[in-house]
Chains A and B, each alone.
Chain A
C-alpha cells in the first residue's frame, strides 16, 4: 500500500500537511499576534521605566552643578567693625544688610573694569547677578575670621538662580524678555564675566550639605537637613522595627498555637500590609501627636509611624526565612537537650539572619521613599536649622528627603523643579545602594538546604 491517490476519499479534505489551509493560517497568525501583544506589553513596561529615569536625570543632573562668581571684596573696618576693637559681639551687630552693598560695589567695579556695563544699567541690576545668599556667606566668613576685616578678600559667591539657569539652558534671552526677575542685559553682563573667567559653573557639593533656602534663593537650597532628618527617621525605624518584627515573627512561626488570637494576628498583619500609607499618617497625627503629645515635625514621630508601616514587610520576610530553615536543625537541637527557646535563639535565628537582614533592608528602603504619612505629621515645614545630635535631635523639627522633594515642587520658581529632580536622584542613589546591599547579602549568604 502506498500513499492514497489524489482522488482517494482517504485524503484529508484540507489538503497537504505541507501547505497550510486558511484555518491553520488564521490560527498561526493569531498565535503570532498574541505573542507580539506580550512583547509589546513588556516593551511598554520597560519604555516607561526608561522614560521615567531619563526625565528625572535630564531635569535633575544640573542640580549638582552651580554657577559661581568670583569677586575681590574689600572688607572696610569702619563699616564692619564700627567699634574698631575686633570684638566678635560688635561685629555680629552688623547684619547682612551691611554686607550687601560691599558685594554690589565689588561686582560693579569688576564689571566696569571689564568695560562690560551696557548703557543705562544701574549698579543695583549688576548687584542682582549675585545671589541674595552671598551677603550671609561673606558675613559668616568675617565672623569666622575677624582678622580679615580691613583687607581685601577673594570670594567665590553663588550667582543668582536666573543667571545659573542661563548657563544651564533653563533661561534664554527670549524668556528673559518676559521675566520680571532678570533682563537680557544682565545675561550679557554674565556672558562677559564668563569670558573673563570670573563666572564659572562647577560642582556643587552644597546641594548635598546645605539646608533649605527660601523661595527667592533657589540657588542656595540644599538637602542637608532633609538627609539628616531621613537618617534619623531610618535609625528609629531600624531600632524599633527590626527587634519587634523579628520577635513577632519568631512567636508566630515557632511558638504560636493555632487559635483565634493567632489567627487574628495573622489577618491583621496581612491587612496592615495593604492599608494605604496615608492612613498611617492619620494614625500618627491622632495618636502620637494629639494624644501622646509628641512634637510635630519631629523625626521621632516620623520614625514611629514608618515603623508601624514597615513592620508587616519585615514580619513577612522574617517568617519566610525562618520557614526556610529545615526542621532537622530544630530536631537536632532538641535532641541534644536544648529547650525550644534555646533551639530557636541559638540555632534557627542565626541561620535565618541573612534573610531577615535582606527583608529589613528592603523594608527600610520602602520607608525611606514614603512621603504621604510624613506630610500629615508636619515634616513638610520649612526647616533651616540642622537638628541636634541624637537623642535630643530626634525631637527637633526636621524634614525628610521625599518630603523636601514635595516641598520644592510646591514652590513658584522653576529653578526648584531642577532641585526637586536632583533630590530625587539623591534619593534613588540611596535606594539603589540599599537594594544592592540586600541583593549582595542574599547572594553571599543564601543557603540551599
Chain B
C-alpha cells in the first residue's frame, strides 16, 4: 500500500473523528450546548487531532528510522571480506537493485514468484529492469542480488508493520478521545495547546534553518579539510583547481577579488546613497520626496540577475572601450570595475533608505538648537546630524558591505573567472561566490576536494557576512537606545 493511501486513510479517519466527536458532544449536552465546557466544534477537533498527531509523529519517525535499520541489518550480512570503503558502494547497488525489483513487481514486469526465483547467473536482470529507468552499473553480483532480495523483504515487512501500527494508533486515538468527550471535558484547552505547539514548531524553523546551514557547511568543510590542509587553504595565494588532482586551492586571491569589488561598490554606493538620503530628508520638498524616494527604491526591487546582465552587455563593454583600452589598462569586458560599479548602483537604495531612517531618528530639537545658534543647514547637517547619526550610518555601511560580499549574480556575470592578486581595477578577477557557483554546478563529485572546497568557501562567506551583520546590528541597536 503506497504512502499516499496511508495519508488518505488517516485524513478520512480524522474527518470521521471530527464528526463523531462533535455529534457525541451535542448528544451528551442533550441539545443545549451551553452545558458543555467547550463548543462542539472543539470536541470534534480534539478527536481529529487525537487521530492525526500520534499517528503522524510515529509515521514520521518510522519513515526516517526504517531505511537506517534495514540498511544496517543488510549491511551486516554482506561478506565480511568487503573493505569498508567499498561497503557504501555495494550498499547503494543493493538499494538500487531492491528498488528496481520492487518497481518491476509493481508495474507487472515480474511476478512475485519470479523475483524469488531470480538468480544472478541468468544475465537478464539488467535488461529487464532497463525499461523502467533503473540503470544498473554492471551485471548483477550474486551476493548483491541476495542482499537486495533480503533488503526488499525487510522493507516490505517494515512497510506492512508501519501501516498496521499507524492505523491502529489512529483508531486508538479516535476511540480514546471519543470516549473522553463529555460535559466537563476541556476540549478547547487541549485543542489550543496543540495549536500553540504548532505555532512554536513554526517559529523554531528559523533555528532549524540556521542549524541546517551551519551543520551542512561544517560537515562538508571538515570533510574537505581532511583532504586538504587548512593552512594551504587560508594562506595559499594560488587558485587553480584541477579535476585530475593536485589542485591548489588558496582562498586569498578569491578574498582579494571579493574585497576589492566590494570596496569599489561601497565607494560608489556610500556617497551617493548618503547624499541622496540627506537631500531627500533635509532639503527636498514633499513633492520631490514622494517621487524620487520610491523611484530610487525601485533599484532595490530589481533582481540581481538584471544587474548582472546590465554589467555584461552595457557597462562592461563601455568601460572597456572608453577607459581600459585607451588607457592601456587591459581589454577585458568583465572586470573589478564593471562588477563594482554595478554593485554600487544596486546598493544605493540600500544605503539611502537605511540612512534615511537613521537621519529621521535624530531629534528635531538638535536641529533647532543648531539653527538657533546661527548655523546654516549644511553646517547643521555636517556638524550636528551626521555626527549624531554616525553609529547608525556605520551600521548601514557594514550591512551594505555584507550584502556586497555575499552578492553572486553580478560578479558571476560581471567580474570574470580568473583568480588573481592584482591591483589593476580593469583586470578580470573573481570572488568567493563565483567560485562556489563554478565548483558546484555541472558534474560534481562529492568526494573530491575540488567540489568540497565550495563548502569551505561557503563557510568562510557565512562567517564573514554573519560577523558583519552582528556588529552592524549591535551598533545600530546601541545607537537607537540613545535617543529614545
- Which A residues contact B (CB, under 8 angstroms)? 27-28, 30-31, 33-35, 37-42, 44-46, 48-49, 51-52, 55-56, 59, 243-245, 247-248, 250-252, 255-256, 262, 264-265, 268-272, 274-283, 285-287, 290-291, 308, 311-312, 315, 339-341, 365, 368-372, 375-376, 378, 380, 402, 405-406, 409, 417, 420-421, 424, 427-428, 431, 435
Contacts and interface: CB of A to CB of B under 8 A. Distances in A.
B449 interface: no
Interface in B190-223: 192, 195-196, 198-207, 209-210, 212-213, 216-217, 219-220
Given A256-B203, A276-B461, A282-B454, A39 B405 contact: no
Interface stretch (B153-161, B226-234, B235-243, B278-286): B278-286
A286 B455 contact: yes
A368 B304 CA distance: 11
A279 B461 contact: yes
Given A276-B406, A424-B309, A247 B461 contact: no
A45 B299 contact: yes
Given A45-B272, A272-B209, A287-B216, A424 B440 contact: no
Contacts of B349: 45
B205 A376 contact: no
B80 interface: no
A55 B311 CA distance: 10
A402 B446 CA distance: 26
Given A272-B210, A371-B304, 9 more contacts: A37-B275, A42-B292, A44-B348, A265-B206, A275-B466, A276-B406, A279-B461, A282-B217, A409-B309
A315 B406 CA distance: 22
Contacts of A368: 303
B379 interface: yes
Given A276-B433, A420-B309, A265 B303 contact: no
18 contacts: A35-B378, A42-B279, A45-B352, A52-B302, A251-B199, A252-B203, A262-B203, A265-B207, A276-B433, A282-B216, A282-B454, A286-B220, A341-B196, A371-B409, A376-B441, A402-B303, A405-B309, A424-B306
Interface in B284-327: 284, 292, 295-296, 298-299, 301-310, 312-314
A341 B188 CA distance: 10
B305 A424 contact: yes
Contact of B310 (A39, A55, A245): A55
Contacts of A42: 275-276, 279-280, 284, 292, 296
B111 interface: no
Interface string B447-472: 00000001100100110011001100
A308 to B, nearest CB: 5
B433 A372 contact: yes
Contact of B376 (A31, A375, A380): A31
The 3 residue pairs across chains A and B that have the minimum distance between CB atoms:
A276-B406, A369-B303, A38-B279
A248 B206 contact: yes
Chain A interface, DSSP helix/strand/loop, else mixed: helix
A4 to B, nearest CB: 22
A49 B306 CA distance: 12
A268 B206 contact: yes
A264 B210 CA distance: 11
B319 to A, nearest CB: 13
A398 B377 CA distance: 57
Nearest to B220: A286
B209 A278 contact: no
A177 to B, nearest CB: 21
Given A39-B279, A42-B292, A290-B446, A271 B210 contact: yes
B381 interface: yes
Contacts of B284: 42
A24 to B, nearest CB: 10
Given A271-B466, A278-B408, A285-B440, A59 B207 contact: no
Interface in B314-354: 314, 345, 348-349, 352
A129 B304 CA distance: 37
B32 to A, nearest CB: 18
A269 B458 CA distance: 20
Interface string B125-148: 000000000000000000000000
A444 to B, nearest CB: 18
A417 B308 CA distance: 12
Contacts of B307: 52
Contact of B465 (A255, A276, A291, A405): A276
Nearest to A58: B314
A339 B191 CA distance: 12
Contacts of A270: 469, 473
Contacts of A31: 376-379
Contact of A341 (B195, B219, B295): B195
A446 B362 CA distance: 28
Interface string B345-387: 1001100100000000000000000000000111101100000
B321 to A, nearest CB: 15
A34 B381 contact: yes
B451 to A, nearest CB: 10
Nearest to B291: A46
A411 to B, nearest CB: 12
B202 A248 contact: yes
B301 A365 contact: yes
Contact of A52 (B219, B292, B306): B306
B310 A52 contact: yes
B71 interface: no
Nearest to B438: A375
B446 A421 contact: no
B309 A279 contact: no
Contacts of A406: 305, 308, 409, 412-413
B399 interface: yes
Contact of A51 (B309, B314, B412, B473): B314
B115 interface: no
Nearest to B470: A271
A27 B454 CA distance: 55
A41 B275 contact: yes
A112 B86 CA distance: 68
B179 interface: no
B345 to A, nearest CB: 4
B30 interface: no
A362 to B, nearest CB: 8
B122 to A, nearest CB: 31
Given A275-B465, A371-B303, A421-B309, A282 B209 contact: no
Contacts of A49: 295-296, 298-299
B124 interface: no
B407 interface: yes
Contact of A276 (B188, B345, B405): B405
B109 to A, nearest CB: 21
B437 A375 contact: yes
B292 A46 contact: yes
Nearest to A403: B305
B313 A421 contact: yes
B262 interface: no
Contact of A272 (B206, B405, B441): B206
Nearest to A30: B378
Contact of B469 (A271, A279, A405): A271
A308 B209 contact: yes
B277 to A, nearest CB: 8
Contacts of B196: 251, 255, 341
A37 B282 CA distance: 13
